[in-house]
Structure 1
Amino acid sequence: MHEAFFEYLKKFNCPLLSEEEKVLIKKAFIPTKLRKRQYLLQAGDQCKNFAFIVKGAMRQYSVGDKGSEHMIRLGVEGWWMGDRESWVMGTPSVYNIDAWEDTEVLLVTRPVVLELLRKTAIIGEMMRQLDERNNMANLRRLTSSISATAEKKYADFAACYPGLVERFPQHIIASYIGVTKDTLSRVKRQLLRK
């Protein structure tokens, strides 16, 4: 599983990992398998681990008063999953995170990441670039949720994340983009007619 992470790190235009850095990373990131619907995190618990998805798909969501699920994040291979606020602040999470498919992840704790930041430049560069990308994606999503039509929300989602359209069912995608399942069905029918 670690080889997938080493390949992932190449995307950040950093120098190649030394053998010493590879050993540190292998000790830091614990391979774990989750069965479909198995929780990585449940609301009310502190997020102690962040997960790098090697294989599979996961979702992060909150549950409303009436039991409806509100999708916050979706993730597949090469993506990260965890509740950053809970992980950093040590507070209980308001989110559930579970495996949508049988999933293989590499888990890392915050103290271990802080230690890696002191010992390897590549982890710091990766985190810096991920923070930049995450901030831009969050702003795009916020702007879309405030002002975009259902058609535009879905078109933007499908253009940015074509792999997610194939991996997650319509009701999850509808929740993620902030429309009803019926509205998403209508939007998809209209797009097919065009």
Structure 2
Amino acid sequence: MIELANLDKLTREKWEQNSFLEHGQTAFSEESSYLKSLAEITPWVTYEKYMQAKLIAAVAGQVGLLHIKFPPEMAEDNRIHTHLYTDRLVTVIKGFGYFLIAPFGEPIKSISVSVGDRVWMPRGVRHTWYSGKSGLVVESIHNPFIAFDDPDILVYDEDLGFIEIMPDGSFIEKKLAGDISGKLYQFNAKERCIGQ
């Protein structure tokens, strides 16, 4: 098992060495009988209005372990975002999807992930996850853990970061079209126009 006390250092090292993606890994909540029993009894709760999450174990301000369930062909708010204050260690436990990395001014890099793939992601990386046709369930370790309703959990870039999947399977980043009648409008994952 990894030394969670050094998760910040490990994620940064793996990222900088371009060895942030590992295959054939087992989720910690499947390795540990204690965490597995907690995962089995912890209920799913609505997260981001259309996703579900279950908080398996956490110490506020320290490490937290949770499961996140994405519905089919969806991304978090269909937007690229950044975690400014937490490092992440994400292991796919069910389904298939994509880890999308989006440095400013560069094309989106799309990395396919499936069961057993683990991503070491340090804070400050512009990214999102996009689930495949059968959805995606991940185990996500956050260091430090920040509550879901904390405004610092993730940051969006004003009118940037809206993703669209192209017919060839690639992803592009779009800008918000503008302000209509005093309300900002954006496209959700089903490409319907909704007001914020």
Q: Which TM-score bucket, shorter chain as reference?
A: 0.3 to 0.5
Q: TM-score, normalized by length of structure 1?
A: 0.36
**Which of the pair has more CA radius of gyration?**
1
Q: TM-score, normalized by length of structure 2?
A: 0.36
Where is the strand percentage greater, Structure 1 or Structure 2? 2
Where is the helix percentage greater, Structure 1 or Structure 2? 1
